[in-house]
Amino acid sequence: MPAQEATMRAPRAADPAGPGAPVVSGREIAELADRLTAPSSMVAGILALLDDQAAPLRMVATRVGQSPEIAARVLRLANSVLYGQPCSTLDQAVVRVGVQSLRALLLAAQTYPLMSASLAAYRLPRLALVRHSAEAAEAAQSVARQVDGQVAQEAYLAALLHDLGKPILAIAAETRGLAIPAGADVVAWEREVMGVDHARVGAWVCNRWSLPEGVVRAIGLHHHEHPPEAPLALSVWLADAVVHARAGDAGAAERALAGARERGIAPDALEAVVAGMPTERRESRPHDLTERELQVLRLLAAGEAAKQAAQTLGCSPSTVHNQAGQAQALLLAREEGWV
């Protein structure tokens, strides 16, 4: 069966009595994935509007604006280098991003708490996975412009979600006190212990979310032995390797360069993607924000909802919304490196 088709199937339940059977069954993983990735009421409401072809996009934008976290993600993509003129309103951003990409962004925002948690089974601290995914998204967008500029937006979204299966498998492993041995190959360990790897689990979830087929396949193939031929999947495959290489993984660097050569991409172009990624965040502070406003922005940027931020700061959710201001403020803070 072609690798692309394999990503579309649900994880299979293994025979627990069979020799060498996975410790965790496919059914358990599927049920866990469904439970952990169920859309919130806010996201579900916006998705329902997107499914209603009669609903005007202005209404969609209004609902998106009720969540500063989601609005910031939409504005960030709408103002990325994929487009020419800057976009200053949510109405414009929703139109520019499009329904399918907005759906993926909504679900990426929905899974932020899952992605940002510490993963003991993988020896990853809090926020490590979400930072990797964010860097991979930026890299995939850049790689896609070298491969096929038409898939750059989808490459960004697919890379943002490419490791979604990892926290799901981590929770399944941690319930049994399992952890990947130091120095072990992550994907090989997953397949041996779980009977499935995180790429396939992530693809299965995104398929159930009805995300575009190309995005689903790109997620499912990002750990494939050979670089995929499809431009979208290739962009995510290379981006994942590039980000690992940038973190000091020599094997990933070799894999990225070999994959680029195999698919006719000049090594210089790939190295330019690595060199173009920021290595540190600026510590400048916006002069027109108070310390409390900056604290609010940092909490929202870290993925906390307004209610959580209010509890942390000892104030009301309405105060958090007032101090956060427009979602554009959060976008600006992120882009300038203030949070």
Rounded distance between C-alpha atoms, residue 268 and residue 237, angstroms: 17
Q: Where is 220: in which H helix or E strand?
A: helix 213-220
Average of pLDDT values for 70-80?
79
- Residue 336: what pLDDT? 45
For residue range 167-197, list pLDDT tens digits in order. 999 999 999 899 999 889 999 999 998 899 9
- Residue 185: what pLDDT? 93
The fraction of the chain above a pLDDT of 90, given in percent, is 33
Average of pLDDT values for 255-265?
91
- Residue 279: what pLDDT? 39
Average of pLDDT values for 17-29?
69
For residue range 301-311, list pLDDT tens digits in order. 555 666 777 77
- Residue 159: what pLDDT? 94
- Residue 255: what pLDDT? 92
- Residue 183: what pLDDT? 86
Rounded distance between C-alpha atoms, residue 85 and residue 165, angstroms: 35
Output the six-digit token pair for 163.
């490791």
Going by pLDDT thresholds of 50, 70 and 90, the confidence category of residue 211 is: confident
In this predicted structure, the answer to whether residue 272 has a pLDDT above a threshold of 50 is yes
At the topology level of CATH, where does 116-279 sit?
Hypothetical protein af1432 (1.10.3210)
Chain-centroid distance of CA 189 in Å reads 22
- Residue 216: what pLDDT? 95
- Residue 303: what pLDDT? 59
Higher-confidence position of 255 and 92: 255
Going by pLDDT thresholds of 50, 70 and 90, the confidence category of residue 202 is: very high
Average of pLDDT values for 217-246?
95
Whether the CB-CB separation of 128 and 232 falls below 8 Å is answered with no
- Residue 304: what pLDDT? 64
- Residue 5: what pLDDT? 41
In this predicted structure, the answer to whether residue 148 has a pLDDT above a threshold of 80 is yes
Rounded distance between C-alpha atoms, residue 218 and residue 215, angstroms: 5
- Distances in whole angstroms, Cα of residue 171 to Cα of each of 33, 119, 205, 311: 10, 8, 15, 26
| Three-state secondary-structure class, residue 124 | strand
In this predicted structure, the answer to whether residue 335 has a pLDDT above a threshold of 70 is no
- Show me where the domains of the chain are located: 27-110, 116-279, 291-336
Going by pLDDT thresholds of 50, 70 and 90, the confidence category of residue 132 is: very high
